[in-house]
Amino acid sequence: MRPQLLGSALALALGVSPACAATIEVTIDKLVFSPATVQAKVGDTIEWTNKDILAHTATVKGGWDVMIPAKSKGKITLNAAGAVDYFCRFHPNMKGHIEVAP
């Protein structure tokens, strides 16, 4: 097996994210996700930074639920393509959207 293919096969076998994966930052301030809409790719990580004094979540109905404590961070790595709408369970008026490309 060629070295390039061996490295790729090894990365897949070990569950390692592709080298081109990015971390996309979303800030929570005054009960608002900013930016409210982000573009991402499968393998990218979304990291929320909560500047509020209240805890929040990034929750997808029927999907994932990320707890984001006050003055802290929470993150998730995206593993499927498609459009994702999320909200805060504690403050349902807080909404965000992620467009996940393959």
**pLDDT for position 19:** 57
Q: How far apart are CA 36 and CA 26, in angstroms?
A: 8
pLDDT, tens digit (0-9, with 9 covering 90-100), for 57-74: 999 999 999 999 999 999
Q: How far apart are CA 44 and CA 62, in angstroms?
A: 21
DSSP 8-state symbol, 21: -
**pLDDT for position 17:** 47
Non-local (6+) Cβ contacts of 86 within 8 A are 58, 59, 60, 95, 96, 97, 98
pTM score above 0.75: yes
- As a whole number, the mean pLDDT across the chain is 87
Neighbours of 87 (CB within 10 A): 18
| Domains (range + CATH), the chain | 19-101 (2.60.40.420)
**pLDDT for position 20:** 83
- Per-residue pLDDT band at 8 (split at 50, 70, 90): very low
Q: Which residue has the tokens 């930074």?
A: 49
